[in-house]
Chains A and B, each alone.
Chain A
Amino acid sequence: MPAHDASDRPDVDLVVIGGGVNGSGVARDAALRGLRVALFERNDIAFGASGNSSGMIHGGPRYLTYDPDVTHTSCLDSGHIQRIAPHLLFRIPFLVPIHASRLTARAALTGYDAFFDLYDKYQALKHGKPHVRLTPDELRQLEPGLVSDAVGGVTFDEWGIDGARLCIGNVVDALEHGAKVHVHTTVTEVLRRDDGSVTGVRYRDRLSGATGSVHCKLVVNATGAWAPLTSVLAGLEPKVARIRPGKGIHVFLDRRLTNYAVVATAIDGRQVFLLPWQNTSVLGTTDDDYYGDLDDVIATGDEVRYLTQAIERVFPAVKRARAIGTWGGVRPTLYAWGRNEDKLSREHEVVDHAQHGADGLYSMIGGKLASYRIFAEEMTDVVARRLGFTAPSKTHVSPLPGGDETIDPLALTEGGRIDPMAAVRLEYRHGSRALRVMERIAKNPREARVVCECEPVLEAEVRYVVEHELASSVEDVSRRTRLGLGSCGGMRCAARCGAIIAQIKERSPESGRRDALRFVEWTRKRRLAAVGPEQARQEALALAHLRAEIGDEPGEGEP
C-alpha cells in the first residue's frame, strides 16, 4: 500500500474510471452537483460498448417478458434523454412481419398484437407512438423489399441515437462544470490506505507515457466490460466486479435500404434486425460470451454471415447490398452462470466494495445505453450523500451541450456556400453548438472546405472536435464526426484529417500520416469480415490509392 496519505487535501472529491456512457454520465452528474471530479479513460470516450451499441435508446420490448422493470426504466429515461438532447434522437419505426411459413402464423400475429398492447403502456414515457397491426398489403406498401409471404405484421416505435455523441455531450458538460477529463490515460493502480480505504489513483498517459497520481475521497469503477480488470488494479479479486461479457456486433451498409427497421428471426431463433440508422443501414446484433481482448473487439466473418443470413430471409436484397464496415462491443451484463446470453438481465447495480475491504470504491455493473442517466444518478446519489453534497441530480432537466435550443440546419448553409447535407449532419451531431462550428467558418472561410465527402464533414468541425472535444487522432475524430466511416473507408479523408490534427497539436506531418494509416488499418480490420462482391472492387482500389497517396509502411515514405 502506498506510504502517503493525502486524505487531508485530496485533489478531487471523486475519480471516475471509464469514459463510456456510465462513467461520463456520473462525471457530469457529479460535476453539476458541485463535486470536484476527475475522469480517466484508457482509450477514447465511447470506445467500448457505448460507442458500439445498436445506437438506440430503446425501451427493450424484448425484456418485457422477463424484466419488465428494465422496460419501464428504459422508457422513462429515454424520455428524459429526449428532453436534454433532442438533436441526437431520431425516430426508428420498427416492422415485425409475420411469415406464413410459420405454422402458427395467425396465432403469432395475434400474440404480437397483444404483446405490443402491453408495450404501448410504456410508449408514452418516451413519446413513442402506439403499435399498429398491418395487413400484408400495408406491409408491402411500407417496405416493398420485404418477402411477400407475410400474413401481416405489427409496428412499434423506438428512438435512435449516436451513442458516441451522447457520451461526448456528457463529457463536454462535465468539463464545462470543472471536471478534469483524461483520455488515453489508463489507471495503473487504485491507491489504498493501510485500512484498505481508497485514497486515489495512479495513472499513465498511454500516448505520452507520462505518469502521475490523483488523490481523491472516492473512486467509481465505471469500466463496463473492463470492470473486473479494474478491480484488480485496486488489489481486489476480479470476481468482486464480475460481469458476463457478451459480444455484440453490427454490420453497416453504404446507404439506407429501408425506412423502417425490420425484425427477423435468426437460425437459432434469436431476434435480429435491419435498422435505418443515420445515413446507413445497420444489421444487428449478436450476443455471445467473449473471452478476447477488450481493447480490440472485432467482428468475425461467421458473425457477419449469421446476421446476413437471417435478414436475407425477410429482406432478400440485403445479400446484394454493399457492407462497408462492422462494429463490435462487449456488453457488461450482470453475471450469471448457466443461462443463455439473451436471457441475461439488463438490470444494473452498484457494488460497494467496502464489503471487500476497499471502502470508498464502487463499481457500476450492468446497465444499458437507454438507462445510463438513471444509473449515473443512482451512483452519484451514493457518492454525493457520502460526501455531504445535498443538491439533487439535475441531469434529467439540464440540457446536454447543444440541446438547449433547436436550430434550423438549413439556416447554416450560408446561402448555398455550405452543402445542405453537411449542414444537416453537423446540426445532428452538435445541436445548437453547430453555430459555434459555423463561427469558425465566418472567421476563416477556408474551414468551410469538406474533409470527408461521404459523411460529409467540414474542416471546421474537425478542428472544433480536436480543440473542444478531446480528440487527438483520426480515430478519435471519426468517433465524434463519423469521418472516414462512409463508403470510401477513409481513402479520401484520412490523410488530410491526420495533417490537420498534426498541425493543431504541433506534431510533425509524418506523425499525421502515421495516424492516418493507423486509422485506415483500423477501419479496414473492421470492414474485412463483411467484404462481399459489391465492396471487393472498392477495397482493391482503396488499397492501391492509399499506397499511392501516403504509402502503406509508415515512416518509410521519404527517400
Chain B
Amino acid sequence: MKVVVVGAGVAGTAAAWAARRAGAEVALVHDRAGASALASGAADWDRWQAAAGQHPLEADAVALASALGYSTDPCLVCTASGVLRPAQGRDRAVLDLTLLAGRRIGVADLARDDWDAELIARALSSSAWARTTETRFAPRALALSDVQHASSWDLAARFDDPGEREKLAAELVKGRGEVDAWLCGPWLGTAAGAHEALSQRVELPLGEALSPPGGAAGARFESARDALLEQAGIETRREAVSEVVVGSGRIDVHLAGGERWGADRLVLALGGVAAGGVRLDEARARFELSLGAPVTLQVDGLSTDAVSTLHGVDFAAHGPALLEQVGIATVGAAALGTPSVFVAGDVMADRPRTWLRALVTGLHAGRAAGG
C-alpha cells in the first residue's frame, strides 16, 4: 500500500504517522507554512470559549501530541493580551498556571513593541481567577540588550543558542526568592529542549504566553514534526502539488516541478483558507482548492459552485464565518464520491479549526488510508 499525504501541518503529520504505523509506505509532500506553523501553542478540541469540559482522547492521540511537544492535560494558559483561558493541552513551553494558584508570578519585562509586561500583569491580576486564588502578577525588568526590535521569532531563535540562553537565565535567576514563577513572552526557543534546559537552569517554573501567528510555538511544532517524520522513515518533499488525478485503482500526484508520484491512497491535509489550502478563485468567483482534485467543496452542507455571480463571494451577505466553514465534503474520513482520497484537518468542511481536531482527524484519515 502506497499512501501520499499532501500537507505537513498537524493533520498531515498525524495522517502520515498513522498510515506508516498501519504498515503503508508513506510519502509526504508539502509547500508553505500553514495554520499549524502559525499556531498559538494552545491545543483545543472546540473553539475555546465554546469548550465545555474535556474531549476524551485515544492513546495514539496523546502519544503523538507528546511527540510533537504537547501536553494533553487540562491547563490554564494566558495570551500576550493578558487573557487567561483554559485549554485541553499546550505546547510544553507554554506556562500552565494551574499549579501556580496563590503564588507570585513575575512577568518578564523586555521593552518590546509586542509585549507590554505592565499591562499584561495588570490584566492578569484583575482576572477573576487571580483574585479568587490570590495569585499576584508583577512586571520585573530583565536587563538584556538588542531585544526591542527583533521579531518574536528571531528572539526565540536567539535563545536556542546556549550562550545567549545563559544570559537570559542569569536574569531570570535573579528572581529567585522574589517570584515563584516566571511568565515570559513567546521567546523560549524555536527548537525542542531550549525551554526545558532553561527551566532546569533557573530552578523556577517558567514558560511562555501563547504565540502570535508565525511565532515560537509554530516554529517548535515544525522542528518536532521534522524529527518525527524522519524517525518514522517517511519521505518528505517540499514542493507544491498542482493536481491529483484519481484513476481506477491508482492515483497520480502531479508536483509543480513536473514530477509525478503514484499512490494507492491519498490524504489531503492542505489546511483551510487561513493556510492557503482553500482559496477564492478570482476568475470563477468562488472557493477552490489550491490544487486540482476530484473533490467537492461545500459550506454548511451546500456545494460552493452553486453561486450565480461573476463578481465574487459577498462576505457582507454571508459573514466571515464562511471562511472557517468552507472545505471538502466528506463521508467519514473519505472525500465525498472519491473513496480512495481521505481528508484531514482544516480542509474538512464545517468543523471547528482546532489543533486537536486536526490531529485526531489526521490519525483517522491515516489509518483508513494505510489499512
Chain A interfacial positions (CB closer than 8 Å to B): 298-301, 305, 319-320, 445-446, 449-451, 453, 492, 495-496, 499-500, 503, 508-510, 512-513, 516, 524-525, 528-529, 531-533, 536-537, 539-541, 543-545, 547-553, 556-559
B129 and A558 contact, CB distance less than 8 A: yes
Q: Is B73 among interface residues, defined by CB-CB distance under 8 A? A: no
Q: Is B89 an interface residue (CB 8 A)?
A: no
Name B114's closest neighbour in chain A (CB-CB): A492
Interface presence of B261 (CB below 8 A): no
B213's partner among A445, A545, A550, A552 (CB-CB below 8 A) is A545
- Cα of A533 to Cα of B273 in the assembled complex, Å: 10
Contacts of A525 in B (CB 8 A): 316
Residues from chain A with a CB closer than 8 A to the CB of B38 are 541, 544
Whether B49 and A553, one on each chain, are in contact in the complex, defined by CB atoms closer than 8 angstroms, is yes
CB-nearest residue of chain B relative to A556? Answer: B49
Do residues A509 and B274 form an inter-chain contact, with CB atoms below 8 A? Answer: no
CB < 8 Å: which of B81, B85, B272, B353 contacts A559?
A: B85
Asked if A551 contacts B317 (CB within 8 A), the reply is no
Interface range on chain B (Cβ under 8 Å from partner): 35 or more
Please name the residue on chain B nearest to A531 by beta carbon. B315
Asked if A559 and B112 make an inter-chain contact with CB atoms under 8 angstroms apart, the answer reads: no
- In whole Å, how far is A234's beta carbon from the nearest beta carbon of chain B? 37
Q: Does B212 contact A (CB under 8 A)?
A: yes
CB distance from A556 to the nearest CB of B (A): 5
Partner of B81, one of A503, A513, A541: A513
Inside 8 A of A531's CB, which chain B residues have their CB? 313, 315
Query: Which of A300, A503, A533, A556 is the one whose CB lies under 8 Å from B312?
Result: A533
In the complex with contacts A499-B116, A540-B323, A545-B213, A558-B81 CB distance below 8 A:
no
Do the beta carbons of B312 and A532 come within 8 Å of each other? yes
Q: B111 — which chain A residues lie within 8 A by C-beta? A: 445-446, 449
Q: Which of the segments B154-162, B174-182, B199-207, B279-287 contacts the partner chain?
A: B279-287
Q: Which of B8-46 contact A (CB under 8 A)?
A: 35, 38, 40, 42
Interface residue ranges, B against A (CB under 8 Å): 35, 38, 40, 42, 47-49, 76, 79-86, 111-114, 116, 119, 122-123, 126-129, 148, 210, 212-213, 272-274, 276, 279-282, 311-317, 319-320, 323-324, 353
8 Å CB contact of B122 from A496, A509, A547, A558? A509
Query: Which listed residue, B47, B81, B281, B312, touches A549 by the CB 8 Å rule?
Result: B81
Q: Are B314 and A301 in contact (CB under 8 A)?
A: yes
Docked-complex contact A524 and B83, CB < 8 angstroms:
no
User: Do residues B76 and A499 form an inter-chain contact, with CB atoms below 8 A?
Assistant: no
Q: Which residues of B contact A544 (CB under 8 A)?
A: 35, 38, 213, 274, 324, 353
Query: Are B82 and A536 touching (Cβ within 8 A)?
Result: no
Which residues of chain A have C-beta atoms less than 8 A from B76's C-beta? 559
Which A residues are in CB contact (< 8 Å) with B127? Answer: 558
Q: B320–A508 contact, CB under 8 A?
A: no
Given B82, B148, B280, B281, which contacts A499 in the complex, CB threshold below 8 Å? B82
Residue of B whose beta carbon sits closest to that of A547: B47
Residue in A closest to B125 when the chains form the complex, CB atoms: A509
Shortest beta-carbon distance, A491 to chain B, in Å?
8
Contact of B113 among A449, A499, A516 (CB under 8 A): A449
A550 near B316: Cβ-Cβ < 8 Å: no
> Which residues of A lie under 8 Å from residue B213 when comparing CB positions?
541, 544-545
Q: How far is the CA of A537 from the CA of B34 in the complex (A)?
A: 11
Given A540-B324, A556-B49, verify A503-B122 contact (CB < 8 Å). yes
Chain B, Cβ-Cβ closest to A496: B116
Residues of B within 8 A of A548 (CB): 40, 42, 48, 79, 210
Q: Which residues of B contact A536 (CB under 8 A)?
A: 273, 279-280, 323
**Given known A513-B81, A537-B274, contact A528–B119 (CB-CB < 8 A):** no
20 intermolecular pairs with C-beta atoms under 8 Å apart: A300-B316, A499-B82, A499-B116, A499-B119, A500-B119, A509-B123, A529-B316, A536-B323, A537-B276, A539-B315, A540-B323, A541-B38, A541-B213, A541-B274, A544-B274, A545-B40, A545-B212, A551-B85, A557-B49, A559-B86
Other-chain residue from B81, B312, B324 in contact with A496 (beta carbon distance below 8 A) = B81
Measured between beta carbons, the chain A residues less than 8 angstroms from B42 are 548
Q: Are A558 and B128 touching (Cβ within 8 A)? A: yes
Q: Which chain B residues border A558 with CB–CB below 8 Å?
A: 83-85, 127-129
Question: How far apart sit A177 and B314, CA to CA, in the bound complex (Å)?
Answer: 48
**Chain B residues in 8 Å Cβ range of A449:** 111-113, 116, 148
Establish whether residues B113 and A539, one from each chain, have CB atoms under 8 Å apart when the complex forms: no
Residue of A nearest to B127 (CB): A558
Are A496 and B119 touching (Cβ within 8 A)?
yes
User: How many angstroms between the C-alpha atoms of A559 and B328 in the bound complex?
Assistant: 34
Among B83, B126, B282, point to the contact of A320 (Cβ < 8 A): B282
Interchain CA distance A451-B116 in the complex, whole Å? 10
A533 touches B282 (CB 8 A): yes
In the complex, what residues of A have CB within 8 A of residue B210's CB? 548-549
Q: Determine whether the beta carbon of B126 is less than 8 Å from that of A509.
A: yes
- Nearest Cβ distance between residue B102 and chain A, in whole angstroms? 15
Centre residue among B81, B82, B127, B272 by max chain A CB count within 10 A: B81
**Contacts A301-B316, A503-B119, A543-B320 given; does A552 touch B49 at CB 8 Å:** yes
| CA A558 to CA B313, docked complex, whole Å | 35
Bound-state CA distance A512–B312 (Å) is: 36
Across the interface, which residues of B come within 8 angstroms of A500, CB to CB? 119
Query: Does A557 contact B324, Cβ atoms closer than 8 Å?
Result: no
Partner of A550, one of B79, B116, B273, B315: B79
Q: For the complex, give the distance between the alpha carbons of A499 and B126 in Å.
A: 12
Contacts of B85 in A (CB 8 A): 551, 557-559
The distance in angstroms between the C-alpha atoms of A508 and B127, with both chains bound, is 10
Is there contact, CB below 8 Å, between A319 and B123? no
Contact A559 B126 (CB under 8 A): no
Q: With A and B bound together, what is the CA distance between A445 and B83 in angstroms?
A: 26
The winner among B86, B273, B281 for most chain A CB atoms within 10 A is B273
Bound-state CA distance A533–B272 (Å) is 14
Q: Is A543 a contact of B82 with CB atoms below 8 Å?
A: no
15 additional A-B pairs beyond A508-B126, A531-B315, A551-B48, beta carbons within 8 Å, are A301-B311, A500-B119, A513-B83, A525-B316, A529-B315, A533-B279, A536-B273, A537-B274, A539-B315, A540-B273, A540-B274, A547-B47, A548-B42, A549-B81, A559-B84
**B274 cross-chain contacts in A, Cβ below 8 A:** 537, 540-541, 543-544
CA distance A220 to B215 in the complex (A): 54
Do residues A510 and B126 form an inter-chain contact, with CB atoms below 8 A? yes
Residues of chain B within 8 A of A320, CB atoms compared:
282
Interchain CA distance A516-B79 in the complex, whole Å? 15
Q: How far is the CA of A508 from the CA of B83 in the complex (A)?
A: 13
Complex Cα–Cα for A553 and B313 (A)? 26
Given contacts A533-B282, A537-B276, A559-B85, is CB(A549)–CB(B212) below 8 Å?
Answer: yes
- A300 and B315 CA atoms in complex are apart in Å by 10
Please give, as numbers and ranges, the residues of chain A lying within 8 Å of B212 by CB-CB distance. 492, 545, 549
Q: In the complex, A359→B282 CA distance in Å?
A: 59
Distance of A552 Cα from B272 Cα, bound (Å):
20
Residue of A nearest to B148 (CB): A449
Q: What is the distance, in angstroms, from A105's C-beta to the closest C-beta of chain B?
A: 28
- Shortest Cβ gap from A324 to chain B (Å): 13
Chain B residue nearest to A538 (CB atoms) is B274
CA distance A509 to B280 in the complex (A): 38
User: Shortest Cβ distance from B117 into chain A, in angstroms?
Assistant: 10
